[in-house]
């Protein structure tokens, strides 16, 4: 009967909910608490529906995808071990194994002995480089002074080439899951996103806890505009830009000027060079955060002390270092050679 058909359809439409609400509800039931993204037409609806259900939405300036597809495993570099599965199930299985009595490699073995000796000699070499008094500073001097003031419970986020690699050997983190960096793929651009995610967790769970985001000057360029996001949500992040005027290495301002006296930069400038002495701290002040431009160990110590004491706003310390500064000599060429 046409009448009852209409009535039935009417009743059904009363029950209709939007796809966005279904997604938001599903996320809530999975205990998801934060959504990160850049809104477009469908995502706006999902973000609004999620907020209505009490989830928190962080509007970013850039986004990346995550893939759990089996075909992707080993797509780039052949891994030694792969884990394929639902992250919740895999984590649970790993935790179950970890709570069983652990097998330990015998501490007096040759392997441990060699490792301990190597650690000791590496530390001595780093110390020697860190104690150099010459200006501009080198990487080790910078990280030595940062390490001195690093709060024990902070998150350390990092990306860059020398900046990240040397930073990993000097900057300590004392708590598990408190170091986030560009990892073995070394994909630039992840640093500020990682810092924002870590800062949201810190702000909610441990007020007062800080995120120290150590960026190479090139790495910072990949998602530097996220500083606006950091200021918009007033996140507890201290960004350190280790500025060597380039990618791996750069030139000082005088060399740069001389080089471009007779030829255009597109013809003459080496591809790894960036503009010398750029004031990256002004990206932070542009959005209301605090910015410092530092050139000496004393300025670095003072600005970091102030930044850590001032919990009212985010901060960026732009640290000028020797543009030709590099890492200590490596035993194996594959540590510095690119595979691409
Ligand atoms: C998405 C992406 N593009 C390009 C690269 C190539 N790359 C490797 S490290 C790096 C930046 C290194 O310079 P910087 O961050 O200033 O650190 P530095 O070594 O100078 O301390 C770049 C661009 C990359 N890893 N990822
Ligand atoms: Mg650099």
The predicted-structure confidence for 6-33, as pLDDT tens digits, reads as follows 455 445 556 788 899 999 999 999 999 9
Q: Which ligand is closest in space to the CA of residue 216?
A: 1
> Is the Cβ atom of 46 under 6 angstroms away from ligand 1?
no
**More confident position, 75 or 15:** 15
> Is the Cβ atom of 161 under 6 angstroms away from ligand 1?
yes
pLDDT in tens, 149-158: 999 999 999 9
| Shortest-distance Cα residue to atom 4 of ligand 1 | 188
d(CA 110, CA 113): 5
Instruction: Let me know the angle formed at the C-alpha of 193 by 187 and 197, rounded to the nearest 5 degrees.
Output: 130
pLDDT in tens, 303-312: 999 999 999 9
- With the most atoms of ligand 1 within 8 angstroms of its CB, the residue from 142, 159, 161 to mutate is 161
Cα 288 to ligand 1 centre (Å): 27
- Which residues lie across from 290 on neighbouring strands? 315
Supply the pLDDT for residue 144. 97
Contacts of 325 (CB under 8 A, 6+ apart): 136, 137, 138, 139, 162, 244, 249
In this structure, the strands spanning 237-243 and 179-181 are unpaired
> Is the Cβ atom of 191 under 6 angstroms away from ligand 1?
no
- The CATH fold assigned to 133-320 is Rossmann fold (3.40.50)
| Shortest-distance Cα residue to atom 7 of ligand 1 | 188
Sheet of 290-294: strand order equals 179-181, 155-159, 211-216, 237-243, 315-320, 290-294
> Is the Cβ atom of 190 under 6 angstroms away from ligand 1?
no
Supply the pLDDT for residue 230. 98
Which atom of ligand 1 is nearest to 161's Cα?
19
Sequence ranges of the domains in the chain: 18-60, 133-320
Please state the pTM of the whole predicted model: 0.76
Contacts of 327 (CB under 8 A, 6+ apart): 139, 162, 165, 166, 336
Q: Where are the alpha helices (DSSP H) in 87-187?
A: 87-98, 110-130, 139-149, 162-170
Tokens 């595979």 belong to which residue? 339
- With a cut of 70, say whether residue 4 has pLDDT above it: no
Which atom of ligand 1 is nearest to 217's Cα?
16
Supply the pLDDT for residue 243. 98
Cα 246 to ligand 1 centre (Å): 9
What 3-state DSSP class applies to 246? strand
- With a cut of 60, say whether residue 133 has pLDDT above it: yes
Whether residue 246 contacts residue 263, with contact meaning beta carbons closer than 8 Å, is answered with no
Q: How far is CA 187 from the centre of its chain?
A: 10
């Amino acid at each position: 009967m046409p009448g009852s058909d209409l009535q039935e359809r009417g009743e059904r439409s009363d029950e209709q909910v939007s796809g966005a609400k279904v997604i938001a509800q599903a996320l809530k039931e999975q205990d998801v608490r934060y959504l990160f993204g850049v809104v477009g037409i469908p995502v706006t609806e999902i973000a609004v529906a999620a907020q209505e259900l009490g989830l928190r939405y962080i509007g970013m300036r850039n986004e990346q995808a995550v893939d759990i597809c089996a075909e992707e495993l080993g797509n780039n570099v052949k891994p030694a071990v792969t884990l394929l599965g639902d992250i919740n199930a895999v984590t649970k299985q790993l935790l179950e194994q970890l709570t069983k009595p652990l097998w330990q490699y015998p501490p007096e073995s040759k392997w441990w002995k060699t490792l301990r000796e190597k650690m000791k000699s590496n530390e001595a070499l780093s110390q020697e480089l860190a104690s150099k008094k010459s200006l501009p500073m080198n990487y080790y001097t910078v990280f030595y002074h940062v390490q001195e003031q690093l709060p024990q419970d902070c998150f350390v986020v990092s990306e860059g080439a020398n900046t990240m690699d040397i930073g990993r050997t000097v900057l300590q983190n004392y708590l598990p899951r408190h170091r986030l960096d560009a990892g073995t793929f070394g994909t630039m651009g992840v640093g500020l996103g990682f810092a924002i995610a870590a800062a949201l967790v810190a702000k909610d769970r441990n007020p007062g806890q800080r995120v120290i985001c150590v960026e190479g000057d090139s790495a910072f360029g990949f998602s530097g505009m996220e500083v606006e996001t950091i200021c918009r949500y007033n996140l507890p992040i201290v960004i350190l830009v280790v500025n060597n005027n380039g990618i791996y290495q750069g030139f000082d301002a005088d060399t740069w000027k001389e080089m471009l006296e007779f030829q255009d930069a597109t013809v003459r400038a080496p591809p790894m060079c960036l503009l010398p002495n750029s004031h990256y701290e002004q990206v932070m002040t542009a959005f209301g955060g605090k910015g410092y431009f530092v050139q000496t160990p004393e300025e670095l110590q003072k600005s970091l002390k102030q930044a850590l004491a001032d919990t009212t706003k985010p901060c960026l310390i732009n640290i000028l270092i020797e543009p030709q500064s590099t890492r200590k000599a490596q035993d194996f060429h594959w540590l510095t050679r690119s595979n691409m």
